Amino acid sequence: MNEKILKLMERGSKVLGCKYAIMGGAMTWISESNLTSALSNAGLFGVLASGAMDGDLLKNELIETQKKTDKNFGVNIIVMNPKIHDLIDVCGEKKVSHVILAGGIPDKSIIDKIHSYGSQVIAFAPALAIAKRLFKQNVDALVIEGHEAGGHVGALSTLVLIQDILLNLKEYPIFVAGGILRGEIVASLLKLGAAGCQLGTVFACCKESTAHENFKKAFLRASGRDAVLPVQLDKRFNILPVRALRNVASDEFVEKQREVLEKFNKGEIVADNGKLSLEHFWAGSLRRAVKEGDTERGSLMSGQIVELVKEELSIQEIINRILTEAENFLNSNS
């Protein structure tokens, strides 16, 4: 059973050190010890989100996660986090097998530092030239994540990234993210040379996710068309676009942007600080939705694939469904 799909997953499973080459993408506030360990215990690859943590918080969460699983899992660290070195040191101390660097392009010194602790490095690449450079700088694998994904997104769709990056760099392990759920797509991507896939939105509202009931219900009710990007107010001030279900928080973000822009225009803040304060807005707003269940004034970061997420399933049910769809597809096309 599932022989063909498992064979196709072998390469990615080896890179991650797990049974199925499927990563549960990190989601700030959602990917804590429970969801991360549950994903890894089910044979997938859980990724702990450190987006809203300092070194001490991460250390505690790592201790909790390691109590709940003896399987491999990763830690997602945001490159622009001013505490990046502390977070890497904690991962080194707790012997985390994989560090996933998101939200920017890491310097070689960061990659080397993680390697010096014996951990593997996975980074995100938004373009072919950057992907080539990162592999030259010895990253162990890359994630390419399309515009349809939930949370912070790049400019290009998953399909374009596949043709631009994956098909040109098949010799390297690349995981594909953004808008993926059905097994037929997972199987097709593996056949095209992907090492595996990363899924986020579907796990935000799975049974093992500790996100507030209201947050999950909003996802299950939503259409993919509700998962939109905020308006960018000024071309000179590039905001990092975040895909989320439209609600009051979407309007509040526009207001926040206006405030930051005014300060920037008056020379009261530099662009990087302005962007960081917008990031803090998102992190706080996401917390309000995930932890407190405020689905109006909290951010409901979600990918377009929410269109297909109609019931709260367990991780086991999700992976079984993916494997069955993939295997049937491979059998009917062999």
Ligand X SMILES: Cc1cc2nc3c(=O)[nH]c(=O)nc-3n(C[C@H](O)[C@H](O)[C@H](O)COP(=O)(O)O)c2cc1C
Residues interacting with ligand X, by CB under 6 A? Answer: 25-28, 30, 49, 51, 76, 102, 145, 148-151, 177-179, 198-201, 204, 301-303, 305
47, 124 Cβ separation under 8 angstroms: no
Residue nearest to ligand X (CB): 200
Q: How far is the CB of 215 from ligand X (least distance, A)?
A: 9
Q: How far is the CB of 265 from ligand X (least distance, A)?
A: 29
Q: How far is the CB of 180 from ligand X (least distance, A)?
A: 6
Give the whole-angstrom CA distance, residue 75 versus residue 46. Answer: 9
Q: Which is nearer to ligand X, 4 or 21 (CB)?
A: 21
Q: Which is nearer to ligand X, 172 or 219 (CB)?
A: 219
Q: Which is nearer to ligand X, 4 or 30 (CB)?
A: 30
Smallest CA-to-CA distance from 146 within 118, 169, 174 is with 174
Give the whole-angstrom CA distance, residue 156 versus residue 128. Answer: 12
Give the whole-angstrom CA distance, residue 96 versus residue 177. Answer: 22
Q: Which is nearer to ligand X, 83 or 263 (CB)?
A: 83
Q: Which is nearer to ligand X, 31 or 264 (CB)?
A: 31
Q: How far is the CB of 210 from ligand X (least distance, A)?
A: 13
| Tokens found for residue 323 | 């494997």
Q: How far is the CB of 52 from ligand X (least distance, A)?
A: 8
Alpha helices in 22-143 (DSSP H): 33-41, 55-68, 84-93, 108-116, 128-136
If residue 322 lies in a helix (H) or strand (E), which one and from where to where?
helix 315-332
